[in-house]
């Protein structure tokens, strides 16, 4: 039987050359969040369906989850995002944790989406949250982390834009335009689609909740605001404006902009929301996004807890980095190749132990291939150094250390080889 050898639709195989880039990206991401004192956690792949109902995003829960009935007749969901899981974990120990908490995770998440560029059915996400901080300093720290992530990967502030908005500010505007409180989320979902649908459909959708056409025009005008100063004076008195103002004045980033059309897709956001976009229009999906969600712990039945968090998906961030040539050539030059000639494996065990005990990563080729084939194998493996080991070498402790990068060679003892490679 010939099986289809492709990965399941919309998911990816990571061959070692792909995984190497993946690890480069996530190792660096982890270093940045650890430098701010964040601690890693994890949660199960599977959660009960009720954890997501009316808390996450209608679109995700109704159309995009992998959900099924398990063998014990439970309605379950493979996690499509991490926020509900981490909120459940914090709620479960609400009273005993040491606030403020700074937590991060790097889960794989599954969504049943139409596969397209930068959007897969399985993706990995860096999730970063602060729990228990009411003040806007929490938002400022997270946006500062985002800035430091891009700096870590040597991106310039002209490569990307951090867009920020306040849902409370938009709610105040909607209130003045006659939208009732119970329809705020409906209108948010429409605003969130603004750049994905044409302007006629956009107005029609808004018309379902804003009866007066003049009010629709007022809202459209408000959604064009991209500068704090343009906010009408009457909205400048609320805490939202004060918070936004503080973010801008503390961070002074040239690529931080105010953008009234930023809403984010999740229902649980309560105030400040932000997302990062690539300045190269070819990579149109947002690279990361987040915001404040102060009521999710309450919704899970525990005392209220203020939270701010963001998530960064692997594929749109990879597209950003590769589009701006920010992925370096990742070499395999620190591994020594040991190519055996003849039946010498048993005799070389001590040599191999000595190398590994001296922290030299050592890969042995003990196949039956000829030495020429073994050298070709080493070149394809991108090994820089190899030694050829036969009975004579083992007897004399003199090995020919070949530097395949510079096409040079030198006869050295094993101790000298260890010193050379460590340099």
Segment 286-325, which members bind a copy of itself (CB under 8 A)? 299-302
Residues 16-45 interacting with a copy of itself (rule: CB under 8 A): 16, 18-20, 22-23, 34-37, 39-45
381 or 403, CB closer to a copy of itself?
A: 381
46-48: strand order across its sheet? 46-48, 75-78, 66-69
C-beta separation of 361 from 335 below 8 A: yes
Q: Please give the full DSSP string across 103-129, using - where no structure is assigned.
A: EEE--EEE-----BTTB-SEEEEEEEE
Q: Which range, of 85-93, 223-231, 234-242, 311-319, touches a copy of itself by CB under 8 A? A: 85-93
Question: Per CB under 8 A, does 390 bind a copy of itself?
Answer: no
**Nearest approach, Cβ of 381 to a copy of itself (angstroms)?**
6
295, HSE (Cβ side, Cα atoms, 13 Å):
10
Of residues 217 through 276, those in contact with a copy of itself by CB under 8 A are 249-250
Strand, helix or coil at 48?
strand
Tell the smallest beta-carbon distance from residue 253 to a copy of itself (Å). 12
Span near a copy of itself by CB under 8 A; candidates 65-73, 172-180, 198-206, 410-418 = 65-73
Contact pick of 368, 372, 407, 408 for a copy of itself (by CB under 8 A): 368
The count of chain residues that interact with a copy of itself, using the rule CB under 8 A, is 93
Q: Is 407 exposed, middle or buried (0-12, 13-18, 19+ CB in 10 A)?
A: exposed
Strands 66-69 and 75-78: antiparallel
Under DSSP, the state recorded for 170 is H
Going along 112-263, which residue ranges are E strands?
122-131, 160-166, 256-258
Q: Which stretch binds a copy of itself (CB under 8 A): 91-99, 183-191, 264-272, 401-409?
A: 91-99
Nearest partner of 280 among 248, 240, 325, 247, judged by Cα:
325
**Interface with a copy of itself in residues 166-225 (CB under 8 A):** none
Please pick, from the candidates 28, 70, 227, 422, the single residue that binds a copy of itself as defined by CB under 8 A: 70
Q: How far is the CB of 53 from a copy of itself (least distance, A)?
A: 9
Least separation in angstroms between residue 51's CB and a copy of itself is 7
First-to-last alpha carbon distance for the chain, in angstroms, is 52
Could you tell me which stretch among 15-23, 203-211, 218-226, 391-399 binds a copy of itself (CB under 8 A)?
15-23
**Which residue in 28, 201, 367, 392 binds a copy of itself (CB under 8 A)?**
367
Instruction: Compute the least distance from the CB of residue 334 to a copy of itself, in Å.
Output: 10
Closest CA to 129 of 103, 147, 110: 103
| Strand (E) or helix (H) holding 240 | helix 239-251
């Amino acid at each position: 039987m010939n099986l289809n050898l492709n990965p399941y639709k919309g998911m990816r195989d990571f061959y070692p050359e792909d995984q190497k880039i993946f690890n480069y990206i996530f190792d660096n991401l982890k270093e940045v969040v650890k430098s701010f004192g964040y601690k890693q956690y994890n949660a199960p792949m599977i959660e009960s369906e009720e954890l997501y109902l009316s808390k996450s995003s209608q679109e995700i829960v109704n159309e995009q989850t992998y959900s099924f009935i398990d063998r014990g007749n439970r309605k379950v969901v493979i996690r499509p995002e991490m926020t509900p899981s981490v909120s459940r974990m914090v709620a479960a120990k609400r009273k005993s944790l040491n606030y403020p908490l700074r937590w991060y995770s790097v889960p794989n998440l599954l969504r049943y989406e139409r596969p397209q560029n930068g959007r897969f059915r399985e993706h990995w996400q860096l999730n970063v949250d602060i729990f228990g901080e009411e003040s806007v300093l929490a938002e400022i720290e997270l946006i500062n982390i985002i800035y430091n992530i891009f700096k870590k990967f040597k991106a310039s502030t002209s490569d990307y834009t951090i867009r920020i908005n306040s849902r409370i500010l938009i709610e105040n505007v909607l209130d003045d335009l006659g939208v009732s409180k119970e329809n705020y989320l409906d209108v948010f979902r429409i605003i969130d689609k603004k750049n994905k649908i044409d302007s006629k459909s956009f107005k029609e959708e808004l018309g379902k909740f804003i009866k007066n056409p003049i009010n629709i025009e007022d809202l459209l005008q408000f959604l064009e605001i991209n500068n704090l100063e343009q906010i009408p004076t009457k909205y400048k008195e609320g805490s939202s404006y004060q918070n936004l103002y503080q973010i801008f004045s503390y961070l002074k980033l040239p690529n931080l902009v105010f953008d009234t059309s930023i809403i984010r897709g999740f229902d649980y956001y309560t105030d400040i929301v932000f997302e990062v976009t690539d300045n190269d229009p070819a990579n149109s999906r947002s690279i990361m996004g987040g915001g404040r969600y102060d009521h999710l712990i309450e919704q899970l039945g525990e005392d209220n807890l203020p939270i701010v968090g963001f998530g960064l998906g692997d594929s749109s961030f990879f597209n950003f980095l590769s589009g701006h040539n920010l992925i370096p050539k990742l070499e395999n030059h620190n591994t020594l190749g040991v190519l055996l000639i003849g039946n010498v494996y048993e005799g070389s065990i001590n040599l191999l132990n000595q190398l590994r005990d001296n922290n030299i990563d050592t890969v042995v080729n003990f196949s039956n291939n000829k030495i020429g084939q073994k050298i070709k194998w080493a070149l394809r493996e991108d090994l820089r150094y190899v030694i050829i080991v036969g009975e004579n070498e083992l007897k004399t402790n003199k090995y020919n250390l070949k530097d395949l990068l510079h096409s040079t060679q030198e006869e050295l003892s094993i101790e000298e080889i260890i010193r050379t490679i460590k340099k």
